[in-house]
């Protein structure tokens, strides 16, 4: 559970997009290519931050929801999206939505900053609220060998995660050392449909389905060319 008494993003929220968009914009367009949306879909962004990713799904006509624990980040999202998305202050470990509510659940650069138990229960909640035929898309750091370009990327990320604070940095290191996203998936009822490794291996995108989904994944769907 996050510490609800202080907002870890209060000071950075106003500058977040200026600092992060150079990283976020390309990740967002790769995510869109893996799973575009349309006006028949319901979309939830967990840890939506300033709403920059959610805006792309809003523009597709999808009915969009965003949840975040930081009032300051949600203020930014609200300024960006207004009434075009349903934004909620809340905790990813207790999503305030019914089971099977969303065709598509999205989360970016969120899970790495959590302790292991909060990460596991946030993912369980995402698995709960996505429809049985729906998809979850995670964009986050990748644990595993890097290519040449990945070392520069990882050095910049290490500096950024370090300045984000002691807990944040410790959780990120634990996340990487314990295998990142793929290591948690079997515990939360989600399975990989596609994996796309990018930025020399520093980041990856995982398109997931609930494990209860009836169609077996028969093709080799990993994309290992950053
Ligand atoms: C690094 S930011 C990422 C924001 C956005 N998804 C992006 O890609 O730019 C992490 C976000 O997760 C939110 N967050 C952290 N713990 C949370 C929790 N337990 N429940 C909901 N949001 C949380 C933070 O407030 C912050 O906005």
Identify whether 175 is part of a domain: yes
Task: Name the one residue in this structure whose structure tokens are 């369980």.
Answer: 124
Identify whether 5 is part of a domain: no
Determine the structural domain holding residue 152 and report its residue range.
13-223
Q: φ and ψ at 200, to 5 degrees?
A: 65, 20
Q: Give the residue, by CA position, lying nearest to ligand 1 atom 25.
A: 70
Residue 226 confidence (pLDDT): 47
Instruction: Find the angle CA(119)-CA(218)-CA(133) to the nearest 5 degrees.
Output: 55
Residue 29 pLDDT exceeds 70 = yes
Q: What atom of ligand 1 comes closest to residue 92's alpha carbon? A: 20
Instruction: Check: CB of residue 208 under 8 Å from CB of residue 191.
Output: yes
Q: CA 9 to CA 81: how far, in whole Å? A: 19
Residue 134 confidence (pLDDT): 98
Residue 5 confidence (pLDDT): 65
Q: Mean pLDDT throughout 107-130?
A: 98
Q: CA 31 to CA 38: how far, in whole Å? A: 14
Q: What is the mean pLDDT of the chain?
A: 93
Identify whether 26 is part of a domain: yes
Residue 57 pLDDT exceeds 70 = yes
Q: What atom of ligand 1 comes closest to residue 13's alpha carbon? A: 27
Q: Mean pLDDT throughout 111-126?
A: 98
* Cα 1 to ligand 1 centre (Å): 13
Q: What atom of ligand 1 comes closest to residue 91's alpha carbon? A: 20
CATH of the domain at 71: 3.40.50.150
Q: Mean pLDDT throughout 171-198?
A: 97
- DSSP-assigned beta bridge partners for residue 140: 204
Residue 53 confidence (pLDDT): 98
Residue 207 pLDDT exceeds 90 = yes
At 58-73, the pLDDT tens digits run 999 999 999 999 999 9
Instruction: Check: CB of residue 208 under 8 Å from CB of residue 185.
Output: yes
Structure tokens that stand for 82 in this block: 């207004």
Residue 215 pLDDT exceeds 90 = no
Identify whether 8 is part of a domain: no
pLDDT-based confidence at 224, cuts 50/70/90?
low
Residue 223 pLDDT exceeds 90 = no
Residue 6 confidence (pLDDT): 87
* Cα 49 to ligand 1 centre (Å): 5
Identify whether 168 is part of a domain: yes
Residue 225 pLDDT exceeds 50 = no
* Cα 217 to ligand 1 centre (Å): 30
Q: What atom of ligand 1 comes closest to residue 2's alpha carbon? A: 19
Residues with CB under 6 A from ligand 1: 2, 9, 20, 24, 47-49, 53, 67-70, 73, 91-93, 108-110, 113, 118
* Cα 37 to ligand 1 centre (Å): 22
At 88-110, the pLDDT tens digits run 999 999 999 999 999 999 999 99
Q: What is the reported pTM?
A: 0.93
Identify whether 3 is part of a domain: no
Identify whether 1 is part of a domain: no
Residue 217 confidence (pLDDT): 46
Residue 209 pLDDT exceeds 50 = yes
Residue 190 confidence (pLDDT): 97
* Cα 219 to ligand 1 centre (Å): 33
Structural domain count, the chain: 1
* Cα 172 to ligand 1 centre (Å): 13
């Amino acid at each position: 559970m996050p510490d609800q008494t202080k907002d870890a993003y209060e000071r950075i929220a106003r500058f977040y997009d200026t600092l992060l968009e150079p990283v976020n914009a390309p990740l967002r367009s790769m995510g869109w290519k893996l799973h575009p949306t349309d006006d028949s879909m319901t979309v939830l962004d967990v840890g939506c931050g300033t709403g920059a990713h959610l805006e792309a799904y809003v523009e597709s006509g999808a009915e969009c929801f965003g949840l975040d624990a930081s009032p300051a980040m949600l203020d930014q999202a609200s300024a960006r999206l207004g009434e075009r998305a349903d934004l909620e202050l809340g905790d990813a470990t207790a999503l305030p939505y019914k089971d099977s509510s969303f065709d598509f659940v999205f989360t970016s650069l969120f899970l790495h900053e959590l302790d292991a138990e909060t990460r596991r229960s946030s993912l369980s909640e995402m698995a709960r609220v996505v429809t049985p035929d729906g998809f979850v898309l995670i964009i986050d750091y990748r644990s595993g060998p890097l290519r040449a370009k990945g070392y520069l990327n990882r050095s910049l990320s290490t500096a950024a995660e370090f300045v984000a604070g002691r807990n944040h940095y410790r959780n990120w290191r634990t996340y990487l050392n314990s295998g990142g996203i793929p290591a948690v998936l079997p515990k939360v009822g989600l399975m990989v449909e596609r994996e796309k490794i990018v930025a020399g291996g520093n980041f990856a995108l995982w398109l997931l389905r609930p494990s209860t989904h009836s169609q077996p994944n028969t093709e080799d769907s990993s994309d290992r060319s950053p």
